[in-house]
Amino acid sequence: MRQKVAAGNWKMNMTPSQTSAFINELAPKVADACNTVIVCPTAVCLPAAVSAAKGTNIKVGAQNMYFEDKGAFTGEISADMLLDLGVSYVILGHSERRQYFAETDETVNKKVLKAFEKGLIPIICVGESLEQREQGITADLVRMQVKIALMGVSAEQAKTAIIAYEPIWAIGTGKTATTEQAEEVCKTIRECVCELYGSDAAEAITIQYGGSVNAKNSAELFAQPDIDGGLVGGASLKAEDFSVIANS
């Protein structure tokens, strides 16, 4: 049985002091969570998050990193910097980064390779726009995103990866994909991983759904055979709601 993973993507919300207070509030509520619980604050909040999460079952992830080790890359953050802080996960290729910060499948792939090289677990985001869904190319597009993101990744590494299927039209809109739509694409992703790496890797890899996941719909979504938890935006900013999701 794969463990379900509930990850909160805080996006550009919360200050370092709010981060500590939030994790102190969240920790007792998720102490017995059946799911793996991850919070992903902004880079400047990571030290506060790691410190507050110490001694709890809450794990900490970053929202992005750069694929070079170090050097003249103003404003960027390396894998070593995250590891030195005690961060263990990193979200890569979120649609907001693709849309506003010119991330491409190729840069996502470079970051995924660097994350694995250094020992960070990538949470790789894929998903279609409304226009692409209406054109009927969701499966083709998501398969291509997955294949490019995993180029050069070994089967052993793929087993430990997390892929988050996040339809862009369901992000922050309150418009969740139906359970059937979410399961269908997550299943497609698992089949794609099976084609690339075989059934062991396909069975082991974690595939999340993201897009307006909340305390009311998480249990049904997470009960699907190919949905191994969720990548949660808005609802992860409320300790009560996120704890319900983490316990789903």
Which of 172, 198, 200, 223 is in the footprint of ligand 13P by CB under 6 A?
172
**Alpha-carbon distance values, 65 to 48, 102, 122, 209, 247 (Å):** 18, 14, 10, 22, 29
Instruction: Identify the DSSP state of 209.
Output: E
Which of 233, 239, 241, 246 is in the footprint of ligand 13P by CB under 6 A?
233
**Pattern of binders to ligand 13P over 196-215, x per CB under 6 A?**
--------------xxxx--
Contact 43, 90 (CB under 8 A): no
- The minimum distance between CB 195 and ligand 13P, in angstroms, equals 26
* Residue 131 annotated among the catalytic residues of the structure: no
CA distance 67 to 48: 24
* Residue 166 annotated among the catalytic residues of the structure: yes
- Residue from 103, 128, 166, 183 carrying the catalytic annotation: 166
Specify the stretch interacting with ligand 13P by CB under 6 A; choose among 14-22, 113-121, 133-141, 228-236. 228-236
3-state secondary structure of 30: helix
Tally Cβ neighbours within 10 Å of residue 12: 8
Nearer to ligand 13P, 122 or 233 (CB): 233
3-state secondary structure of 48: helix
* Structure tokens that stand for 32 in this block: 């017995």
**Pattern of binders to ligand 13P over 81-100, x per CB under 6 A?**
-------------x------
* Structure tokens that stand for 224 in this block: 């699907």
Residue whose Cβ sits closest to ligand 13P: 233
Q: Which residues bind ligand 13P (CB under 6 A)?
A: 9, 94, 166, 171-172, 210-213, 231-235
Active-site residue set: 94, 166
